[in-house]
Structure 1
Amino acid sequence: MDHYQTLGLNRSANREEIKEAFRKSALKFHPDKHSHSSDDARNEASLRFKRASEAYQVLIDERKRADYDLRLRSAGFPRWSGKGPQSSSSSSSSSSSGYYRPPRAPASEFDPGIVFRWLMRRRTLIELAVAGALLGAYIVMEDSLEKVWKRNNAGKSFEETIESIKGGKSHKDSSK
């Protein structure tokens, strides 16, 4: 279902145009207006009202609309352009119809745009910041532990240090 086509809008419609198109659609298909119609007409009007409401909720919210537009483009939605809905029976030649259809990369080709969009999501940025903070804390702790080790065991080899630790334990055990 194309939300733009549902409301009879072009892809570059602004908020006021979306509101006006929804208002007209809501007045035309509201279930209360069709309460005395046949069951089929009432069901059809109810369905079209629900679709118009869903389209309005998506298109009026900037984030939802951007996500919806991105999904349309990445799915290769037919007739994608800023010029509005067209019937599928119109000319398929993009040069004669005035439609821009972005080139689609083969499925096996790497698309850096997808990776960039994933990296720029708020959740991904937060996760990267937390991972960076944890890594930084680990590096600081490791460096601090190494400095403490060197200060307490200056001039000793590793084997001498281990022997002194063992000697310390045996000394404690014998004093108890």
Structure 2
Amino acid sequence: MTNHSMAKNLIVFLIALVLGIGGTLYIIRINLATLLVTEIESPLDFDETLVHIESKAKEIGWKVPRKWKANFQKNFNKIVGKDIGPMRLLKMCEPFIAADLLISDENKYLSVMMPCTFAVYQKSDGKVYVAMMNLKLVGMALGGDVVPAMEKAWPDMLKMVKFN
């Protein structure tokens, strides 16, 4: 093979590599929101959805303190005078998973993601939705002790939003 053909092959390879990496990054970027946050349509009305998630959480041993509930609709209406529609956040915790993670100094930064949060809201189409972080993906991204913890928490969260 001549130097000219080797250089030509190298250029073609580098162009293909750059296009492949660029294409992959573009696809990740446009899909990132749906990868990080899971949105599920609820067949129940707004209040029934809140009750359903909370009761499922308690059934499987999660803690849902009353003080961890946030009424975004009420708060935004009061503070900025805008009605964003029905929206509440349910914050809950599986205390054993959380404690096992947070006991280590290397994992204390994870407290920023705790407690786990479910957003329940009604869109202008009248339908009720539940959104939650995809903890399985977060665990994979962070690695280490987070992986097994999120592998325990994620199936529980999916049970809470199973409506049938």
Instruction: Tell me, yes or no, whether TM beats 0.5.
Output: no
State the TM bucket, normalised to the shorter chain.
under 0.3
Specify which structure has the higher proportion of strand: 2
TM (normalized to structure 1)? 0.24
Specify which structure has the higher proportion of helix: 1
TM (normalized to structure 2)? 0.26
Q: Which has the higher contact order (CA 8 A, sep 6+)?
A: 2
Question: Highest CA radius of gyration, 1 or 2?
Answer: 1
